[in-house]
């Protein structure tokens, strides 16, 4: 249930009719609250501080329209909102000098897997955790990279818990959109193998308050169709893999309300020799159905790299920001590296190349492309991975401005929160990234972060660096306690 319903009983009245009206109102409020979209839900997000900041002489890349840059602007941020751009100056504000710097909207990663205590299966959320992740440690690499919103594509009750910790202000972290995953076959999680099972699970997911549905590879066609149809009826968008059952009949997967394909790989699996005609055919299927694409180029780049050698991960400068248990898993229980053969290494290499062609074909046909990174997959470190993906998308043929749009306004639009975030405009939430240099000139400049506003909270470079270095020190110091194979054997 949600805030509005709790506020109602405060008014006292002995009048019977008023009581009945009040009860009807409560019922209506409950009914209404269960149909809230993700966009409506973030409106009630608590405002946790009321400090006013003035960001002076900054170049604002508003992302409201192409080439919309306001040079030397004054941006006033009060609480968690952008109050004015070039408006009146408030008294008692904290001043940040933005001279020569560039302001962009907070970045959005449309495909992450946040580690939770239940991340490794076998334990139920009701059981005492034998592995405990510190939520701040999960979020620090994300926010320090200017990523202020993420879409988690396999959320559980524990992800809700993390989201609440952030909303209460205990943890500094991004806005989190939650997608519940449905798979077919057998195994853990939500499994549906008939249309009716699929519909029931979708209704439960809606009632539990998740924002989106993630479709997975083992769904059969009948169940897949039913899930997407039921989700549509309940106003839930769907994103996912294209189930294996569509092999040889890919076009049948493109039905109304199949909202987004979560990897370019979902298409390339259906191309025998990675030719450009296939890429164009796939783009047309997506375009005609209104289905968007999150290519996750960085995921495939990392998969290919580790089939060559797991040293690619060992030598990654960002590995130290990953929890030591995951570091150990990525290095010692790495299936990509273990199963590597000359053939599949060559296959993954050519898939990386084909993915660039796919992205170009989708762009040329006007299919909206968003930035997702599959952070959590071995090698892909949340936060940092967004900047990698931005660069890869530019290499694939998008302009720097187009990829910024992919990581801000377009993603906000798909999530249904473009009225609240995604551009820099008065009234929007203060999710902002201050850069030392212009990212439109060179996309690599998105890495030159000098500070981040996250829901109105200002974190400058020194604070962000301190958080990161503290995290890496603790991760490194506790490495010995988290040997993957020892801990997983103990659990069995």
Nearest distance, CB of residue 323 and Zn ion, angstroms: 18
Name which of 153 and 192 has its Cβ closer to Zn ion: 153
- State the minimum distance, in angstroms, from the CB of residue 374 to Zn ion: 4
Nearer to Zn ion, 374 or 388 (CB): 374
CB of 284 to Zn ion, least distance (A): 25
Least separation, in Å, of the C-beta of 212 and Zn ion? 13
Minimum CB distance to Zn ion smaller for 334 or for 420: 334
Structure tokens at 187: 């195994």
* Residue 303 CB, nearest approach to Zn ion (Å): 12
Q: Name residues contacting Zn ion, limited to 152-191 (CB under 5 A).
A: 153
* Closest listed residue to residue 261, CA positions, set 109, 418, 110, 413: 110
Query: Which is closer to Zn ion, CB of 83 or CB of 374?
Result: 374
Closer to Zn ion at the Cβ: 61 or 138?
A: 138
Contact 172, 148 (CB under 8 A): no
- Judged by CB, which is closer to Zn ion: 121, or 235? 121
Task: Give the residue nearest to Zn ion (CB).
Answer: 374
User: Taking contact as CB under 5 A, which single stretch among the options 80-88, 90-98, 148-156, 445-453 is the one that binds Zn ion?
Assistant: 148-156
Which of 210, 109, 211 is CA-nearest to residue 151? 109
Q: In this complex, which beta carbon is closest to Zn ion, that of residue 211 or of residue 374?
A: 374
Specify the pairing of strand 432-435 against strand 449-454: antiparallel
H or E segment to which residue 401 belongs: helix 400-407
3-class DSSP assignment, residue 458: strand
Least CB distance to Zn ion at residue 219 (A): 15
Which CB, 303 or 443, lies closer to Zn ion? 303
Of the two residues 62 and 291, which places its CB atom closer to Zn ion in the complex?
291
**Minimal distance, residue 119 CB to Zn ion, in Å:** 13
Q: Which region among 6-14, 43-51, 147-155, 438-446 touches Zn ion (by CB under 5 A)?
A: 147-155
Closest by CA position to 415, among listed 108, 63, 62: 108
DSSP 149-205: EEEESS--HHHHHHHHHHHHTSS---EEEEEEEEE-SSSSSEE--SHHHHHHHHHHH
As given in the structure block, the two tokens for residue 383 are 């936060």
Work out how close the CB of 283 gets to Zn ion at its nearest, in angstroms, rounded to a whole number.
22
Q: 69-78 and 237-240 as β-strands: parallel, antiparallel, unpaired?
A: unpaired
Joined tokens for residue 150:
């993420």
The minimum distance between CB 258 and Zn ion, in angstroms, equals 17
Which tokens is 361 given?
A: 């074909």
Question: How many residues of this chain interact with Zn ion, rule: CB under 5 A?
Answer: 2
Give CA–CA dist 34/152, Å, rounded.
Answer: 20
* CB contact set of 311 (below 8 Å; sequence gap of 6+): none
Distance in Å, CB of 159 to Zn ion, minimum: 13
Q: What is the DSSP letter of 449?
A: E
Check: CB of residue 263 under 8 Å from CB of residue 354: no
Distance CA 454, CA 450 (A): 13
Question: For the chain, how big is the Rg over CA atoms in Å?
Answer: 23
Answer whether 335's CB lies under 8 Å from 73's CB. no
Nearer to Zn ion, 151 or 245 (CB): 151
* Complex with Zn ion: residue 137 or 374, whichever CB lies closer: 374
C-alpha to C-alpha distance for 23 and 29, rounded to whole angstroms: 10
Distance separating alpha carbons of residues 390 and 308, to the nearest angstrom: 24
Q: Which stretch in 371-379, 413-421, 442-450, 474-482 sits in contact with Zn ion by CB under 5 A?
A: 371-379
State the virtual CA torsion across 265, 268, 274, 280 in degrees, nearest 10. Answer: -110
Question: Binder to Zn ion among 374, 388, 389, 391 (CB under 5 A)?
Answer: 374
Is the CB of 109 or the CB of 374 nearer to Zn ion? 374
CB of 260 to Zn ion, least distance (A): 12
| 192 neighbors 216 (Cβ within 8 angstroms) | no
Residue 139 Cβ vs Zn ion, minimum distance, rounded to whole Å: 18
Give the containing element (helix H, strand E) for 453. Answer: strand 449-454
Segment contacting Zn ion by CB under 5 A, of 64-72, 101-109, 151-159, 244-252: 151-159
- 265 contributes a contact to Zn ion by CB under 5 A: no
Applying CB under 5 A, the span of 122-130, 252-260, 369-377, 466-474 interacting with Zn ion comes to 369-377
Contact (Cβ atoms closer than 8 angstroms) between residue 257 and residue 209:
no
Binding site for Zn ion (CB under 5 A): 153, 374
């Amino acid at each position: 249930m949600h805030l509005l319903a709790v506020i109602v009983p405060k008014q006292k009245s002995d009048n019977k009719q008023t009581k009945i009206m009040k009860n009807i109102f409560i019922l209506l409020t409950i009914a209404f609250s269960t149909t809230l979209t993700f966009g409506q839900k973030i409106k009630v997000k608590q405002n946790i501080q009321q400090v006013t900041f003035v960001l002076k002489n900054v170049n604002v890349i508003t992302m409201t329209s192409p080439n919309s840059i306001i040079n030397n602007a004054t941006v006033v941020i009060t609480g968690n909102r952008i109050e004015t751009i070039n408006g009146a100056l408030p008294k008692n504000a904290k001043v940040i000098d933005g001279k020569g710097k560039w302001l962009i909207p907070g970045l959005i990663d449309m495909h992450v897997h946040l580690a939770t205590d239940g991340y490794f299966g076998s334990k139920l959320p009701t059981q005492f955790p034998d592995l405990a992740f510190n939520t701040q440690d999960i979020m620090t690499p994300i926010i320090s990279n200017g990523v202020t919103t993420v879409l988690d594509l396999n959320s559980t009750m524990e992800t809700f818990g993390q989201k609440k910790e952030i909303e209460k202000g205990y943890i500094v972290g991004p806005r989190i959109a939650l997608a519940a995953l449905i798979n077919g076959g057998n195994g853990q999680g939500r499994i549906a193998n008939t249309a009716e099972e699929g519909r029931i699970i979708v209704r439960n997911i809606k009632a539990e308050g998740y924002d989106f549905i993630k479709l997975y590879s083992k769904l059969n066609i009948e169940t897949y169709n039913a899930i997407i149809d039921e989700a549509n009826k309940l106003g839930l968008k769907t994103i996912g893999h294209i189930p294996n059952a569509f092999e040889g009949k890919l076009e049948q997967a493109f039905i109304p309300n199949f909202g987004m394909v979560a990897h370019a790989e979902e298409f390339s699996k259906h191309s025998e020799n990675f030719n450009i005609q296939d890429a164009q055919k796939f783009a047309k299927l997506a375009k005609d159905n209104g289905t968007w694409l999150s290519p996750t180029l960085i995921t495939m780049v990392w998969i290919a790299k580790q089939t060559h050698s797991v040293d690619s991960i060992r030598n990654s400068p960002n590995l130290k920001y990953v929890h030591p248990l995951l570091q150990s898993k990525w290095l010692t229980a790495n299936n990509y590296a273990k199963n590597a053969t000359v053939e599949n290494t060559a296959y993954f290499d050519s898939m990386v190349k084909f993915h660039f062609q796919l992205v170009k074909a989708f762009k040329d046909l006007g299919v909206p492309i968003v930035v997702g990174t599959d952070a959590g997959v071995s090698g892909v470190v949340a936060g940092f991975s967004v900047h990698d993906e931005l660069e890869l998308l530019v290499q694939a043929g998008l302009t720097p401005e187009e990829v910024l749009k992919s990581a801000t306004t377009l993603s906000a639009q798909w999530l249904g929160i473009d009225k609240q975030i995604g551009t820099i405009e008065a009234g929007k939430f203060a999710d902002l990234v201050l850069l030392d240099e212009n990212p439109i000139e060179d996309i690599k400049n998105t890495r030159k972060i000098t500070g981040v506003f996250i829901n109105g909270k200002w974190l400058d470079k020194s604070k962000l660096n301190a958080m990161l270095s503290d995290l890496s020190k603790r991760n490194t110091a506790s490495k010995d306690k988290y040997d993957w194979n020892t801990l997983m054997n103990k659990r069995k």
